[in-house]
Amino acid sequence: MKIDPSKISTSITPFAIIGEHSVIPQEQEILFTMHTVFRVGEIKQPAENSRRWEVQLTITDESDPQLAGLTNRIKQEIDGEGWYRMGQLMLRGGHFDQAEELYNELLEDASDDTERAHIYHQLGVINCHQGEYQKAATFYEKSLEIKRKTLPKDDAPLAPTYSNIGLVYNSMGEYSRALEYYEKSYKILEISLPPNHPDLATSYNNIGSVYDKMGEYSKALEYYEKSHKILEISLPPNHPDLATSYNNIGGMHSRIGEYSKALEYYEKSHKILQISLPPNHPDLATSYNNIGLVYYGIGEYSKALEYYETSLKIREKALPPNHPDLAASYNNIGLVYRDVGEYSKALEYYEKSHQILEISLPPNHPDLATSYNNIGRLYEEITSLPPTHPNIKVVMNAIAGVKEKL
């Protein structure tokens, strides 16, 4: 921990060195005031202790220009008053169950349609984060129905709802419908916002994500880069939305096999997320997962497994048990075990993934097809093993169990 009194205002951030008053003077204790803020420096894991992390902290205060910029930006994003602002904060922090409870109470007390439209929209956001896409779509449609009664068809408040309905269809694998809603949102934003507004960047990013999933990588990268240019201008350098942007561009490079570039962008994203999000936030899990994908792509399976398992631990804490992102984690771990020849473990994780996908996705979703394909390929590899293989009996018993469940 580093404290430089010349770089902070002691009237804003008072502290006291109390080592000489401590029961254990050699600990060199320092007493800090409430709400003291530190800048996170290096984060490392000591070689001699894999369960401990060392974090280098430098004391700062609200006069820090980067902190002030980020704080002001978050204040702008978390609009509203009282309990509505609290709900936004819960969403930003990934506390979806508490946010849902709060918004349901606010819905019971809502006195007009404008208020109800906003609450339905927020409940849609929550359900989308929880992987409940059909429920999310229902809430968004309720919000949209109210707004259409009172607003002109191209009015700015309609754009977020169109965008979020697009997000639901994107998550459900209905890419043409997703693109339709994303483009409706974009047309409204293009008219109503200045060219470097962050919401326009989000719109470009969303359209890019559809092209990404459709395998049109050059188009996806074009939209991701348009989004990134706006965010670099309009946001402070440690804003979580910039992390998302770095992550998406990294994903493009990963998918076309440019792993060193992908890792560069993923690590930029990860540094921001470590600073700006709580340690069990789902976005951090995605970041660990993506770095794992790069190591998997270059054949470093032990490193890939390490990152995948870190991601899984966060997702198991932060997400509902049938969330598709959990299925993705199980699938990725299964892929590693398949490639290193541990077929029974691979099968165990494939099965966990498949069970979630069957519950959480529509029957024609591409991810379900991928899941069947992975299990089928694994079965092919297993049946081609020589009968003298040391694990053949265990593996064949495992595959028989899975065939009964599918």
**Residue stretches of the chain with pLDDT short of 50:** none
Q: Could you give the 3-state DSSP secondary structure of residue 205?
A: helix
Q: Which residues of 260-284 are buried (b: 16+ CB within 10 A; e: fewer)?
A: ebbbbbbebbbbbbeebbeebbbbb
55 bridge partner residues: 43
Q: What is the number of alpha carbons within 13 Å of residue 101 lying toward its C-beta?
A: 5
39, 30 in Cβ contact below 8 A?
Answer: no
Q: What is the pLDDT of residue 382?
A: 76
Distance in angstroms (rounded) separating the CA atoms of residues 12 and 67 = 14
Q: What is the number of alpha carbons within 13 Å of residue 38 lying toward its C-beta?
A: 14
Indicate the residue type of 277.
L
Distance in angstroms (rounded) separating the CA atoms of residues 320 and 94 = 12
Q: What are phi and psi of 313, to 5 degrees?
A: -60, -40
Distance in angstroms (rounded) separating the CA atoms of residues 239 and 195 = 19
Predicted TM-score (pTM) above 0.75? no
Residues in CB range of 347: below 8 A, 6 or more apart: 334, 375, 378, 395, 398, 399, 402
Q: What is the pLDDT of residue 35?
A: 67
Is 151 buried (19+), middle (13-18) or exposed (0-12) by CB count in 10 A? middle
Helices 392-405 + 343-360 axis angle, to 10: 10
Q: What is the pLDDT of residue 295?
A: 97
Which contacts qualify for 209-217: CB closer than 8 Å, 24 or more apart?
209/170, 209/248, 210/166, 210/170, 210/175, 210/178, 210/179, 210/182, 212/248, 212/251, 212/252, 212/255, 213/170, 213/173, 213/175, 213/366, 214/175, 217/252, 217/255, 217/256
208, 198 in Cβ contact below 8 A?
Answer: no
Q: Could you give the 3-state DSSP secondary structure of residue 157?
A: coil
Distance in angstroms (rounded) separating the CA atoms of residues 351 and 354 = 5
H-helix or E-strand spanning residue 60: strand 54-60
